[in-house]
Each structure stands twice: as structure tokens, then as C-alpha cells.
Structure 1
Amino acid sequence: MLRNSWKRNIFPSSFLFRLTFINIIVIVAFVTFSSWAIYHTACTLADGLLAMTDHRQHQFRTTLFQYLCIFSISTILFGSLIHFYLTNKVTQPLKELIQSTQKMKQGQYPPPIDVKTNGEIATLSNNMNELVQQLHTNEQQRKKLVSDLSHEFRTPLTNLNGYLRALQNGVIEGDEKLYQSLYAESTKLTALVEQMEQLKEWDDIASQTFTEKEPTDLKAFIEEVIGLFYWSLQEENMELDVHLQSGVVTVHRTSISQVISNLLDNAIRYYEGAGPVTIIGEKLPDKYKLSLTGPGRTIPESDRERIFERFYRTEPSRSRELGGSGLGLAISKEIIERHHGNIGVYSEGNLHTFWFTLPYSQ
């Protein structure tokens, strides 16, 4: 363990020294060759231009050699020092990156790296900062999700255990009303399990490339998806007002069907007030736009900006009837963006319109 720690701590310095050593070798080779060339060139010129005795010629060569040695040593020394200083400045972000990765390996979230330069190292440092921030955000969302799910599982499980223990001990007798209560609690647990399944669904969506796209008439396709909600609309006594134009778009049918289902399911689940749920499909010059408008509780403006974030929910009370896993709209956004489209929401009071667009050419 101590040996590995020593290696980690010495790595940045040893890396810097290796760079400096390589630079010194290059400088020495270059200066030596240059000095040798200058020396022999000067001696040859001196022999050809001046008539010197052997003593004067020896003295000239000795003096020239001394000056070249001084010049070479000074160049190597100052060049190496300047190289060491500049390389140390350049590799400083790398040292901070190494320290950051070591802290991440220990389960800590390092502070952001201060980027003062441009270039590849700056890009790497910025990417590292974004990665740390994303991991930190994911960790917070994971803890929140676990807290939410444990909170929501606790109540129906407590109710079921209480009823079943009472039945077992003969404290109460089973009747239709009791069985309905047990069934309601069981249904809530099933819904929570389905929410957990959406986590796997999110990972599947994120890894898909949607290569199996096919030209689809969205008018007929949307009508087909809406038909699946016929009984749900009947049970809620909700009216649906549909206005669709034909438009052929190349899409991954299964995933786009999921987006439409998510939006319509939300419109039914969060329906409050009076009036129909309106679905409008418009064929625009370069894209097809589908919008779904319905009444519901007011969405604060701050929530509208984050409503498509993973795990984000506008229901702060964690109501089991209203609160979901916060993945449906995030998955929908992922799908639409993979189709090079856009998705959004705008509200006027308690009337909300969710919309998305799909370009004709993708």
C-alpha cells in the first residue's frame, strides 16, 4: 500500500523530470553538433584566409574551443532551466487531474480544476470538471430516488402487514371493503415496481442509436397510439379533442410511441379542472409538430425549466397518487433529441401544453 502511494505521489515529478531529461539530450546533441560544425568551419576559414604559424593556429583553435564550450554549457544549462520551468507550468493541470482522479478513486468529489489556458489540456480539464459535476449530481439524484422509493414503499407495506396480521390473529374478518383496500395497496406497490423498471428503460434508451427507423405517416400512427388509451379516458370521463394532419417522417416507431404515451398518460394522471385534452398535429415546412394541451395544477416557472430532467418531480409532497419516478419526460426528451427534434412545455395558468417536433430529414 505504501509503495503504491509513493508511486502515485512521485508520478507527476518523475514525468516532468523525464520530459526535462529528454529535452536535455536533444539540446546537448544539437549544441554539440552545432559547436563541432562551427569549430571546424572557423578553423578551415582561418587556415585559408590567414597565414598563421603553428603556435598562433594552436592558440586560435584553443581559444575558439574554449568559447564554444562556454557557449554550449551555458545554452544547455539555461535551456534546460527554461524548459523545466515552462514544462512545469504546462503540466500543472495534469498534476491537478491526477489528484482529482485519486480523490475520485477514494470516493470523494474533488474541487473544480482552475483552467487558465487554452488547448487540449484545458479541454481535458473542463471535461474532467463536467464529469465530476455530473457524477455528483447523479449521486444526489440516486440518494433522492432511494429516499423517495423507500418512503413510498413503507406506507403500503405497513398497511398490508397490519391488515394481514389482523386477519391472521382473527382480530378482523375479511369482507369486500377490506379486500378492496388490500388490492389498492397492492396496486400502489405494483406501480412503484414499474417506476423502478423505468430506470432500466432509461439505460436502454440512452444506449440505443435508433437505427431501425422507417417512414411513418404520423397522423395514422398517432391515432393508433391514442386508441390504446380509450378505456383509460372512459374511466376518467375525459374528453379528447384530436386534430391531426398527415405528415411522413422517418422515425423509430416504438420509441416515438412511448413519447406519445408518456405525454398522454401524464395528461390523464394530472388532469384537474374542466375541458377536453386537445391533441394537435401540424405539418410545418421542415418538421412535424405534435402538441398536447390539457388542464392541470399550476406548474411553477422554475419547475418548467427542469421538468425534463431525470428524476425531477414537480410534486414536493411525494404523493403516491401523483408523484412518479420523474423519468417519463426525461426519457421522452432523450428519444426526441435522438431523432434530432425538440421537446418543451409552456403554460398559461392551469392549462399546459407539451409539444415536440420531428424534422422530416434526419
Structure 2
Amino acid sequence: MSPNKPYMKGIWRTGIFWELTWVNLAVIVVVIIIAGFSVKEYACFLANDMNIAGPFMQSSFDETMDFYLIRVSIIAFLVAVVIHYIWIRRIIIPIRMLSDVTKRMSDGEEMRLVPITTRNEVGLLTENFNSLIKKIKRSEELRNKMAADLAHEVRTPLSNITGYLEAIKNGVIEPDKNVLHSLHGEAERLSKLIEQLHHLSEREWNQYLDAKPSNPANIKTIVNHMVSIHQMKLDQKHIQIEVAVEEAAFHITEDTLKQIVGNLLDNAIRYGIENTTLHLKGKRRKDHYVLQVEGQGQFIPEASRPQIFERFYRVDTSRNRESGGNGLGLAIVKELAERQDGSVALETDGNYHQFIVKLPSTAML
């Protein structure tokens, strides 16, 4: 069925139809009267001037002229009405479609585009309306994306803080200066993320992600800090970790590097195999810095590997849901790396995985 068909019914019941109809009818009637009167008078003038008809024939000539003028006027009126209906329908249908879609949107239904049926100002209005719908959808997607990103980033430090505090409360570990320092750092990061929730807009969120630090961030210090934060999780799964990270200072905020390292570690631990060893490496190359987390993990099918960095993607939905994963960690790593003109990659044989982040030399001191 044509998308316009539902809007063709009851056109004559619309207010704009009758407003335009009365105006056009008035114009048509006036034009027909003026044209008919002018033609008749001119014909009579020619007949009299050229002595074509006598007094008796003049009356017959006038009647004939009246007959044909009336018939032509009726035909012209009917043709004008048909043209008027076709023309007015081309205006009213897109307006009714716009009105209907706007009402549906106000009632909470899904936003949808309106087909462009004309190339006049009404068509331009429809095109502008569609552009607005696309921008609204894009803004909604970005807002949902930002909310999901923030929720994910809030959950990570919060779970670390909660885990350590529970362990201290239950006497599993003793609170020392290093543990308290790490917890304080996570609490500060959590505070900054929560602050972003009060200013949740695309512009401010992008500014937060692209912010430049006042002081350079040391990758080795950040890696050691994030490893200490995740140490309890490593111990719970009986996973050892070997760290070999070369010194490098970056023109990137510490929060950004903490998110990258933290998300990689969190992902590796969550889907890692118990009683194995993780390797966290960092090497400075000529034109980039390579940060690499590798180890044995849950099987990743070949078909899933190209999608592993996509938002909300899960290799095994049921198993990931049980582990608490939401498919955002690696996607955030990818976005943060690419914002620094870097890249991410996965090299795997299915069971042994290497997650590689490359940051360009332009981001380093």
C-alpha cells in the first residue's frame, strides 16, 4: 500500500482544503465571468461593425453566444476543479503526514522519516523535518552511548572500592598505605565520573574525552596503579600477572590511560582462565607506543573476532551476562585510543589472546 494512501482519505474535511477551495473558486468564477463577458461583447461588436447579421439574426446570435459561453464556462469550471483538487492534494497530503508524525512523536512513538512527495516549499519543509528527526535520533543515540559509557566507567572503580573494603572488613587483607592510596585514587576517579553525570551533553562529554592534561601522564606509573587495583580480582581467579612496561610520558589525561589499562585488565581477568598467567607489556617504538595485554581466555570464534570491539557485542551472551560483562569495555578502549589517533587490535588463535593498543608518538613527550 502506498504510504500516502491513509492520508488521502477525508482531505475535504480539513480546514486548509476549504480555505484554499473558497479562494480558488472565487478566483475561477471571477475569471470565467470576466472572460465570458469580454468574449461576448467583442463578438457582438464585430458582428455589428461588419453588418454580419440583421436585427432579427442579432437575437439568435446572442442566444447562441450565451449557450456556448455557458457550456464552455461549465467545462472550464469542472476542469479547474479537477486541477484544483490534484494541486491541493499535493499540498495537504505531506502536511497531514508531518502533522501525524509529529503527533505520534509527542505520544511517545518511535520517530520516523516522512517521504518527500513534492519539490516545492512543502517538500523543503519535509526535508528539513527529516533532517531534524535524524539529528534528534543521533543526539538520542549519543546520549544513550554517553550514559552507557559513564555507567560502565563508574561500575569499575566502584567494584574495586567495594571489593577491597569488603576484604578489609572481613579481615582477608590488612589496610596499608598502598591499599588506601589506591582506594583514594579510585574514589577520586569515581568522583570525576559522577560529576560528568551532572553535565551530560555531547559537547561536554567530548570535551571530557579530548581534554589535555596540565601535567604529562606516566604510563608505567598508571599501569602499576591499575594492576594493584585489580590485584584482588587476580587473586580470586588465581591468575598471575607479569608486567614489563617501558617508561613513557603522554600528553593524555591520566583518566584516559587509566580507562584504557583498566578496561583491558578487567576484560582479561573477567574472561581469563584460572591458574594461568597474564602478560602486560609496554614498548616504546620509533613512531608509536605499544601497550599489550595477553593471556589465555575464553574461546573467541573466528566469526566474532572482527566484532570484538563493537559496542555491546558479546561473544557468548549467556556466559557474559553471568560474568557481568556488558560489551562496553573494549569498545571504550577503541574509542579512547582512536581519539588520540591510535588504534586497537586483537591477535588470537581462539584461546590465547593478545589485545594490542597503539598510541602515536605525537601523544608522547
AA aligned to 2:129 is M
* Higher mean C-alpha deviation, range 87-96 or range 35-44: 87-96
The 5 Å alignment of 1:228-239 reads: 228-229=215-216, 231=218, 236=223, 238-239=246-247
* Higher mean C-alpha deviation, range 181-190 or range 267-276: 267-276
Q: Could you give the per-residue CA deviations for residues 13-68 of structure 1, whole angstroms, max 9, x where no partner exists?
A: 22123223222222222222211211111010010112533332122123212321
Distance 1:41 1:144, change over 3 A: same
Distance 1:277 1:266, change over 3 A: farther
Aligned to 2:34: 33
The structure 1 residue matched to 2:283, chosen from 248, 270, 275, is 275
CA distance in 2, matches of 1:266, 1:164: 25
AA aligned to 1:229 is P
CA apart distance, 1:144: 5.2
CA distance in 1, matches of 2:184, 2:213: 28
Aligned to 2:7: none
Q: Could you give the per-residue CA deviations for residues 222-271 of structure 1, whole angstroms, max 9, x where no partner exists?
A: xxx799315456655545599xxxxxxxxxxxxxxxxx747995599459
Let me know the Cα RMSD of the aligned residues. 5.3
Aligned to 2:18: 17
Aligned to 1:85: 86
Identical counterparts, % of pairs: 23
The 5 Å alignment of 1:43-82 reads: 43-82=44-83
AA aligned to 2:216 is F
Q: 8 Å contact 2:217–2:249 — kept in the other structure? A: no
Distance 1:204 1:146, change over 3 A: closer
Q: 8 Å contact 2:117–2:123 — kept in the other structure? A: yes
Q: 8 Å contact 1:262–1:328 — kept in the other structure? A: no
CA distance in 2, matches of 1:129, 1:35: 47
From the CA coordinates, give the structure whose radius of gyration is larger: 2
Distance 1:90 1:293, change over 3 A: farther
Q: 8 Å contact 1:109–1:132 — kept in the other structure? A: no
Q: Could you give the per-residue CA deviations for residues 306-354 of structure 1, whole angstroms, max 9, x where no partner exists?
A: 8xxxxx6899945998775998689x69xxxxxxxxx796969666667
Q: Could you give the per-residue CA deviations for residues 199-228 of structure 1, whole angstroms, max 9, x where no partner exists?
A: 44715979xxxxxxxxxxxxxxxxxx7993
CA distance in 2, matches of 1:86, 1:328: 54
AA aligned to 2:284 is P
CA apart distance, 1:91: 3.0
The 5 Å alignment of 1:77-156 reads: 77-143=78-144, 145-146=146-147, 149-150=150-151, 153=154
The number of equivalent residue pairs is 285
The 5 Å alignment of 1:1-362 reads: 13-143=14-144, 145-146=146-147, 149-150=150-151, 153=154, 176=177, 179-180=180-181, 182-193=183-194, 195-196=196-197, 199-200=200-201, 202-203=203-204, 228-229=215-216, 231=218, 236=223, 238-240=246-248, 261=252, 265=256, 269-270=260-261, 273-276=281-284, 294-296=290-292, 317=325
CA distance in 2, matches of 1:170, 1:295: 35
Give TM-score scaled by structure 1 length.
0.56
Q: 8 Å contact 2:256–2:336 — kept in the other structure? A: no
Q: Could you give the per-residue CA deviations for residues 142-185 of structure 1, whole angstroms, max 9, x where no partner exists?
A: 34544554465467557767988999999999654663464254
Q: Secondary structure at the match of 2:113?
A: coil
Q: Secondary structure at the match of 1:113?
A: coil
CA distance in 2, matches of 1:75, 1:352: 77
Distance 1:103 1:159, change over 3 A: same
CA apart distance, 1:191: 4.3
